[in-house]
Structure 1
Amino acid sequence: MKSKCLSFVFIYVLSLCLGFAEQSNILGLFPHFGYSHFKVYSPILRELAKRGHNVTAVTYIKTPEPHPNYHELLLEGKSGVDVLSLEDHVPSRSLWTMFMEFYLLHAEGQNACEAFYSSPHIEDIIRRHNEKPYDMVILEIFNTDCYLGLSYLLQVPVVGLSSCALMPWHYSRIALPDNPSYIQSEFIGFSEELNWQERLINFIQSNGNKLLYRLTEWNDNAVIRKYLNVNVDVREIAKTTTSLVLVNQHYSLSGNRPLSAQVKEIGGVHIPAGEKLPTLPKNIEDFLNASNETVLFISFGSMVRSSTLPKEKFDGIVAAINKLNLRVIWRWDSGKAPFDSNRFMFSKWTPQLSLLCDPRVKIFWGHGGMLGTTEAVYCGKPIIVTPFYGDQFLNGKAAENRKIGTVLNYDQISEQHVLESLREIMRPRYKENAAGLSKIFRNRETTPLSTAIWWIEHVLREKLAHDILRTKAVNMNWFIYYSLDSIALLIFSTVLPIAIVYIAKIRYF
């Protein structure tokens, strides 16, 4: 009897230490193939499992750290690593390119919907729900809402996760202000103070993409009808089921944007705050130890194949680096180095965060992906950004706005422009600004992961929270939302008496 009491006390104290009162059943839906996307979400799912929640995740990415409370339903047939060839992709930032990017996102999203709903996991999820009902769905909000059909069947609250700045079509589901006069879309990359031409471009692409997204929503509805045999409107489901939106951004980099209690910034959630970073491989450690000069780390992300750089651009980069006597570690997708040199190390895999935070690495040249940019800010390193697509242009400009980096566009890459960019970024002020921004980024009330977990568990624990967090503004039409009815009435009530007096004056005097 005594041992049973001690066991009960131990379990109770352990549960208090872990911070949860009861186990919840959580379904995670992440059918986008991008590894960099799931790298943002994985720590949240893993931490929920560690805290005793039963987590089931649909994903392409197999976790390297299995946990008994974390269950994977793996999708097959997609790779999110080294898929973009620079021979086929020439980045630019015209309105046409932005709308073409939307079309590609739309097409990829619809392919993901078909792969998800045609997989055997749907029946498995419904079976699991019938055996032990899910309490919440956590899903990626990106280029499709077709997964909301499943949350509609399960009748549970939804937490949306975004690995980048919100897409233009995400604001309406939570009635979050997105005034294009100063809030830049995920597709845009301008300085913080927009001139009238930039405001016009931002307005056209933001509202144009919102209209085009209706096509995605119609297709989502058709996919749900086809596979689940229910007639729904994903736009309405998004408004009624979304409890929270967790966004991988922080004001230190993205600037001051309107937020509500329904939106939480968790920028840097993938960074293991307070934990010792993985040690560097011996070959990288030896290279750094032998480096008396400034070390530059180059990585264009997990999707871009650096080996497809045109020869003239690659030669220009190498020539500029040699003139400045830099040593370089370059994340190179090919297993074979393009040439042998004691100044260059080409590596197929690099521990990016550990490298960026190493004091021997002084400069980072990246593509402006949110993860790499965030890690550079965290580690306090100046950054050169060469954006290729998506939010990379926005992130590159954010680095320029904070005066911690400079943008070198892909079409500008030449020996002369690379030299200019490297000389600029090596000025002391960039190092000082990067160190200052790193302090702001790190100094928070709580860690990004703790913020995400607290709010997820808050919605799980407090059943009224879902309804209270949802603003009634989501049900207003645009005419009422912008108070145009009140403005019209005020104008009418002001103009009418003046008109009456004017007409009376003409008629009787």
Structure 2
Amino acid sequence: MMKIFITILLLLTAAFLTDGAKILGVFPVPGRSHYLLGSTLLKALAEKGHDVTMISCFGEKDPPKNGTYRDVVVSGLLKAMQDGQKDQKMNLFNREDSNPFATAVFFGFMMPQFMEVILKDESVQKLINSDEKFDVVIVEQFLNDAQKALSTHFGAPLITFNTVGPNFWINPLVGNPSPLSYVPDMMLDYTAPMTFFQRLLNTLLYVFNELFYNLYMFPQQNKMLKKHLPNGPDLYDVLYNTSIVLLNSHSSINQAVPHVPNMIEIGGFHVKPPRKLPSDLQEFLDNSKNGVIYFSMGSNLKSVDLPIEKRNAILNTFSKLKENVLWKWEDDSLPGQPPNVKLSKWLPQQDILAHPNVKLFITHGGYLSTTETIYHGVPILAIPIYGDQKLNALTAVNNGYGVVVPYSQLSEEKLTNTIHEILNNNKYRENAKLKSKIFHDRLVSPMDTATYWVEYVIRHKGAPHLRVAGLDLPWYQYHLLDVIAFTALIGSCSLLIFYHLTHIICKMLFFKDTKKLKKQ
């Protein structure tokens, strides 16, 4: 009852104090999962009566009925990304063993080129050169810092949206502490507590990123914004000016880590109550008396790109199961498809996971998939490939609701044994349900939290009172290097003085004793 009262109070406060505002959302990443997060938030704001403009690579097929929702579609970026993958003959399944240092450099050189496509796009330039003003600008954080200058250009406070929890991309920009001793980089498959060598590599990666970003990335972003924004500000006047950060994280999903006051957790805000399934899926799930295993490698990884030996290992495993299998397969047919396997190019994942007959989710360990499986309390078998997938999968293992099968070790025997282990051991489902209970135990829903804080920033003209003082300190003062140097200097001088005094006293005593001996 108290939760309902507080939610209503927050919504009424926002309604009375925040009239329909003009909101610009910039979600530039050409990935469906990223767009899903952005459009879900922006549509919710439009439903509350706001005038919303969305810059993305995708258009909205189901715009909200309330408020105003306008798409600014940059189709050229999606094509550029697809062409780049074709030119490099890129198969994402080959990235399992990617080095975190090489990955940082790869993204550092590739993403600015793609992000510049957004700023120079004709429709975006038309918006930039218009006389429009916005009350707030929401920008997704993804190696696109130049686009944050749109907030300054349109005279609006900046909200940064982080698709995951706190990480290296956002922590320095809001002064959030992230101790290297127990907070691993998201590109490392480490969890706390880390060993000495894990902490060493974590530290080396942090130093590498600091140097790479400050010496290369930020200067490149600065050139980009000055090139495409009339009278563009200096990037460094924009970088550290975020009003709040919306974090798509929660303690039921992520390791507990520090947050400064302007970091707001809204993890799971995109998950909706289950809807009615298409009739064929409903019938398949309802009639699967032995249960269903749901298999999807997400929106970027495609099952059709699996090497033949891996695909056959999966097929042979599925063919011997008593359970039915629902497989997201991106082609019209699958050679050797077993009778207990149903295929579909697209599947309503959230609604499928909500069905009581789903016993196991075989996944790549993507962040949204991890969030949705925790929401519904379904255990996972993770086959992580790249990015944060390995960290998400290892977190599932440590929390007891999942098991990892490394892609390099994927075989019929390994996959079969792991599936039987999860299905026959109740602890995995019990732990998944426990995590789900923690996920749902919130004072206010994550979506209401998100919309409240966006409107809070509008009401308080950027909410500068949430900014921590650490952002105003030079790096050497923030890390107390000047204090350490001063203390070391004073300590060294004191030791030196003590040494010389001791030396002088010893000499005097020795001289005195020598003089006495001579007199004798």
TM-score (norm 2): 0.88
Q: 1:367 aligns with which of 364, 367, 378?
A: 364
- Correspondence 1:162-201 to 2 at 5 A: 162-201=162-201
Ranges of 4+ aligned residues in structure 1 off by more than 4 Å = 14-20, 79-88
- Correspondence 1:173-322 to 2 at 5 A: 173-214=173-214, 215-230=216-231, 232-239=233-240, 241-272=241-272, 275=273, 277-322=274-319
Deviation of 1:411 after TM superposition, in Å, equals 0.6
Alignment partner, residue 71 of structure 1? 70
Change (3 A) 1:135 1:495: same
Deviations 1:232-251 (A, max 9, x none): 44244110x21011111111
Change (3 A) 1:495 1:103: closer
Assess if the C-alpha contact under 8 Å between 2:164 and 2:249 holds in 1. Answer: yes
List runs of 5+ in structure 1 lacking aligned partners. 1-13
Q: Structure 1: which amino acid aligns with 2:170?
A: H
- Correspondence 1:390-405 to 2 at 5 A: 390-405=387-402
Matched, 1:384 2:381: yes
Q: Structure 2: which amino acid aligns with 1:412?
A: Q
Assess if the C-alpha contact under 8 Å between 1:330 and 1:344 holds in 2. Answer: yes
Change (3 A) 1:297 1:247: same
Alignment partner, residue 459 of structure 1? 457
Cα separation, 2, equivalents of 1:353 and 1:430: 19
Deviation of 1:228 after TM superposition, in Å, equals 2.4
- Correspondence 1:4-19 to 2 at 5 A: 18=15
Q: 2:26 aligns with which of 29, 35, 44?
A: 29
Assess if the C-alpha contact under 8 Å between 1:75 and 1:116 holds in 2. Answer: yes
Cα separation, 1, equivalents of 2:129 and 2:50: 19
Cα separation, 1, equivalents of 2:90 and 2:18: 51
Deviation of 1:489 after TM superposition, in Å, equals 3.2
| Secondary structure of residue in 1 paired with 2:176 | coil
Change (3 A) 1:286 1:150: same
Cα separation, 1, equivalents of 2:238 and 2:18: 30
Alignment partner, residue 516 of structure 2? none
Assess if the C-alpha contact under 8 Å between 1:169 and 1:213 holds in 2. Answer: no
Deviation of 1:304 after TM superposition, in Å, equals 1.2
Cα separation, 2, equivalents of 1:291 and 1:448: 33
| Secondary structure of residue in 1 paired with 2:403 | strand
Alignment partner, residue 92 of structure 1? 96
Q: 1:428 aligns with which of 409, 426, 429?
A: 426
Deviations 1:156-180 (A, max 9, x none): 2100001123442321110111222
Percent identity for Structure 1 against Structure 2:
30
Change (3 A) 1:389 1:350: same
Assess if the C-alpha contact under 8 Å between 1:173 and 1:235 holds in 2. Answer: no
Change (3 A) 1:372 1:181: same
| Secondary structure of residue in 1 paired with 2:145 | coil
Alignment partner, residue 502 of structure 1? 499
Q: Structure 2: which amino acid aligns with 1:91?
A: R
Cα separation, 1, equivalents of 2:16 and 2:44: 11
Cα separation, 1, equivalents of 2:248 and 2:313: 35
Deviates further, 279-288 or 451-460: 279-288
List runs of 5+ in structure 2 lacking aligned partners. 1-10, 507-520
Assess if the C-alpha contact under 8 Å between 2:93 and 2:301 holds in 1. Answer: no
Deviations 1:396-420 (A, max 9, x none): 1111121111111111110121123
Deviations 1:401-455 (A, max 9, x none): 2111111111111012112321232211001101111000111111111111111
Assess if the C-alpha contact under 8 Å between 2:18 and 2:458 holds in 1. Answer: no
Cα separation, 2, equivalents of 1:367 and 1:65: 28
Alignment partner, residue 146 of structure 1? 146
Cα separation, 2, equivalents of 1:292 and 1:38: 36
Q: Structure 1: which amino acid aligns with 2:380?
A: I
Cα separation, 2, equivalents of 1:184 and 1:282: 44
Assess if the C-alpha contact under 8 Å between 2:93 and 2:305 holds in 1. Answer: no
Assess if the C-alpha contact under 8 Å between 1:163 and 1:247 holds in 2. Answer: yes
Alignment partner, residue 6 of structure 1? none
Deviations 1:212-258 (A, max 9, x none): 2232222211122222254644244110x210111111111212100
Q: Structure 1: which amino acid aligns with 2:311?
A: F
Q: 2:408 aligns with which of 411, 414, 420?
A: 411
Deviations 1:324-378 (A, max 9, x none): 4232100011122333432101111111011111110010011111111100000
| Secondary structure of residue in 1 paired with 2:342 | strand
Change (3 A) 1:233 1:313: same
Deviation of 1:25 after TM superposition, in Å, equals 1.2
Cα separation, 2, equivalents of 1:400 and 1:93: 20
Alignment partner, residue 118 of structure 2? 116
Assess if the C-alpha contact under 8 Å between 2:293 and 2:358 holds in 1. Answer: yes
Q: Structure 2: which amino acid aligns with 1:443?
A: D
Alignment partner, residue 136 of structure 1? 136
Cα separation, 1, equivalents of 2:360 and 2:395: 17
| Secondary structure of residue in 2 paired with 1:181 | coil
Cα separation, 2, equivalents of 1:179 and 1:86: 35
Deviates further, 279-288 or 225-234: 225-234
Cα separation, 2, equivalents of 1:310 and 1:269: 35
Assess if the C-alpha contact under 8 Å between 1:87 and 1:310 holds in 2. Answer: no
Change (3 A) 1:179 1:236: farther
Matched, 1:490 2:491: no
Deviation of 1:87 after TM superposition, in Å, equals 4.8
Deviation of 1:199 after TM superposition, in Å, equals 1.2
Deviation of 1:205 after TM superposition, in Å, equals 2.0
Rg comparison, structure with higher value? 2
TM-score (norm 1): 0.89
